[in-house]
Amino acid sequence: MKNLKFRNGDLLPILGLGTWKSGPGEVQKAVFWAIEAGYRHIDCAAVYGNEKEVGKGIAEAIEAGLVKRQDLFITSKLWNDSHRHEDVGPAIDRSLDLLNLDYLDLYLIHWPISFKHGIGFAQHREEYYTYKDVPLTQTWEAMQEQKSLGKTKHIGVSNFNQSKLKELIKMKEEVPEMNQVEMHPFLPQEALVQFCKEHEILMTAYSPLGSPDSRGEKHINDPKLLQNPVVKEIANRQGISTGQVLIAWSINRDVAVIPKSVNKNRIIENLESAQVKLTDHDLMELKDIGVSHRFVDGSFFTGSQSPYKTSDLFDQ
């Protein structure tokens, strides 16, 4: 499988397993099957509430002799309620404890949004901190400290637009090594990809299949990425599935990609996308797909009670 290279030369397997919405009773098996099939990169987060089960899947695979810890690349993310300097260390310690690991390979600031400590999802104004209360630069200082303590090999961010990245770059300290954002042919993020490339920031594409299992009633009219006619036509031509077209699209752009599945056959099918060769014609058709859509629109953080605006999350 193709790897991406961090600035220090460390490698990131370009395809990993997503674990958001992977429930208890299913995620341990999913992680084990993934490692058994050949995945070496697992994407986790404190807020997914399943790090203990993910850790069990990893331990099971190591105990079965499938891999050693150092063969795996494990990412976790700092939740919005732990952005204050003093909260970052305990937050990474908790993820390490749940995952049953001595170190992470990558730790990300999950969103550029800050809640008071202990708040899972802020509903009221008083449950939020503003950028004045807790500047992102404060959180970034603490992230660098965790790296220097050896608790994570790499640090980065998620859901950061260009202006938020520039705030951290201006500190003249360590530049984030990764920016994980939503990315697929409906949201190719060309300008952000270019900006990150210029600053040697690797990128990971989340919700590469359009996150169909997070779309409730409210989103019934969202366009369907896996059923898009252009994607379907390429899949038919190549003799592969639409999911494989979408995963191969990210790999082709040198962007890491983390499709989520708890289904053994789909876990294997998704891994096989790493072998798919899209033609220039396929790529041109995907570029001209004619649909523009963001599935994870951040609206849960930008309601009337929130001090944050959509422009704090996404480039307009």
Ligand X SMILES: NC(=O)c1ccc[n+]([C@@H]2O[C@H](COP(=O)([O-])OP(=O)(O)OC[C@H]3O[C@@H](n4cnc5c(N)ncnc54)[C@H](OP(=O)(O)O)[C@@H]3O)[C@@H](O)[C@H]2O)c1
Catalytic residues: 48
Instruction: Report d(CA 175, CA 144) in Å as an integer.
Output: 10
Q: Does residue 20 touch ligand X according to CB under 6 A?
A: yes
**Within 98-117, which residues bind ligand X (CB under 6 A)?**
110
State whether residue 183 is helix, strand or coil.
coil
Please count the residues of this chain forming the interface with ligand X, following the rule CB under 6 A: 31
Q: Does residue 179 touch ligand X according to CB under 6 A?
A: no
Q: Does residue 207 touch ligand X according to CB under 6 A?
A: yes
Q: Does residue 259 touch ligand X according to CB under 6 A?
A: yes
Residue 13 β-bridge partners: 3
- Which of 54, 72, 209, 251 binds ligand X (CB under 6 A)? It is 209
Q: Does residue 236 touch ligand X according to CB under 6 A?
A: no
**Measured from the CB of residue 100, what is the shortest distance to ligand X in angstroms?**
19
Residue 227 β-bridge partners: none
**Measured from the CB of residue 44, what is the shortest distance to ligand X in angstroms?**
7
**H helices present in 123-189, as ranges:** 136-148, 162-169
- Which of 13, 112, 176, 243 binds ligand X (CB under 6 A)? It is 243
CA dist list (Å): 144 to 137, 154, 204, 205? 11, 9, 20, 23
Helix, strand, coil percentages, rounded to 5, for the chain: 40, 15, 40
Q: Which is nearer to ligand X, 148 or 275 (CB)?
A: 275
103-131 in b/e form (b: 16+ CB < 10 A) is ebbbbbbbbbbbbbeebeebeeeebbbeb
**Within 24-43, which residues bind ligand X (CB under 6 A)?**
43
Instruction: Give the number of other Cβ atoms within 10 Å of residue 278's Cβ.
Output: 20
Per-residue interface string for the shown chain with ligand X, residues 52-91, x marking contact by CB under 6 A: ----------------------------------------
**Residue with the closest Cβ to ligand X?**
18
- Which of 82, 146, 179, 261 binds ligand X (CB under 6 A)? It is 261
Q: Which is nearer to ligand X, 33 or 131 (CB)?
A: 33
Return all residues near 243 (Cβ < 8 A) that are at least 6 apart: 209, 226, 259, 266, 269, 270, 273
Chain positions contacting ligand X, by CB under 6 A: 18-21, 43, 110, 158-159, 180, 206-214, 226, 241, 243, 258-263, 266, 269-270, 296
